[in-house]
Amino acid sequence: MLSVQEDFGEDCLLYHPNPYSENLIEATLQQLSLLQHLPINDLPLLEPEDLIKQASLMQSIFLESFLELPRDQNLCGFLENLALSVAAQPQVNCHFDFERRNLFLLDNGEIGIIDFQDLKRGPLGIDLAGFCVDHYLSVDRERINNCCSMLLKLEHFNFSDAELVEMVLMAALQRNARILGVLSNLYLEQQRAFRLPDLEQILKNFIDITSLLNLKEFSVLEDALKLIPTKVAAICKQ
């Protein structure tokens, strides 16, 4: 059963030497499947307007306010259409921060989950993307395929592995767009710079996923990728 407790110990998957072993993927997805279908009354629904606002943070906060790059209207339109596409996915319980830093390997071999404050009804692909499209590693299509295939063995969704992979990749773009804005805003509003070094890999993954999906390329993102190391290094020296 899904367990919620205060202290899961110190075996966080963020620091595990092999977090994507078959056993750990299966244990993680078993808990994700339980969470997605747990009966929870009055859970807030993540509306399409919420997803549009979240995706727009990439342009308004990350690119414009943090990196001081000009607005790209084509990218703005792309992010809005992306959010609407993700909003059309099947709705499940969505942890919304289902990544390795919030997952712990317990003594019994199960996975414990922390930080439920953002729990909502939301798109199916968001949490799976949080786990298998890792902020700290390059995009790995085989890892994504394996995770999607395993989840479909646990679930009874009426779509194929390939369809779920596409949902996850689109949700990963949505998620990365939001997080680029959120982490930039943490620095701009609160001078919290500890997550700024993550921006480069998150943006690289965003660009790589657009390539995997044969989506439009945006030169402003390549410009941003060149600016990030110098910008972050200067801030971290302060």
State the Cα–Cα distance between residues 48 and 75, nearest whole angstrom.
Answer: 18
Q: In this structure, what token pair is assigned to residue 78?
A: 């792309």
Tens-level pLDDT at each residue, the chain (238 residues): 454 555 666 799 999 999 999 999 999 999 999 999 999 999 999 999 999 999 999 999 999 999 999 999 999 999 999 999 999 999 999 999 999 999 999 999 999 999 999 999 999 999 999 999 999 999 999 999 999 999 999 988 889 999 999 999 999 999 999 999 999 999 999 999 999 999 999 999 999 999 999 999 999 999 999 999 999 999 998 8
Q: What is the pLDDT of residue 7?
A: 61
Q: How many CA atoms lie less than 13 Å away from 35 in the CB half-sphere?
A: 28
Asked if residues 124 and 35 have their Cβ atoms less than 8 Å apart, the reply is: no
| CA-angle at 51, arms to 2 and 224, nearest 5° | 110
User: Looking at domain 13-237, which of 3.30.300.30, 3.90.1150.10, 3.90.1200.10, 3.20.20.30 is its CATH number?
Assistant: 3.90.1200.10
Structure tokens that stand for 33 in this block: 């499947």
Q: How far apart are CA 127 and CA 170, in angstroms?
A: 12
d(CA 152, CA 138): 24
Joined tokens for residue 228:
């990030």
CA gap 172, 238 in Å, rounded: 32
H helix runs in the chain, sequence order: 22-37, 48-57, 73-87, 124-132, 141-154, 161-190, 199-212, 219-237
- Provide the whole-model pTM: 0.95
C-alpha 125/C-alpha 1 separation (Å) is 22
Residue 41 gets which letter from DSSP?
T
- Distance in angstroms (rounded) separating the CA atoms of residues 210 and 218: 10
- Helices 22-37 and 141-154, axial angle in degrees (round to 10): 50
Token pair of 11 as six digits: 């075996």
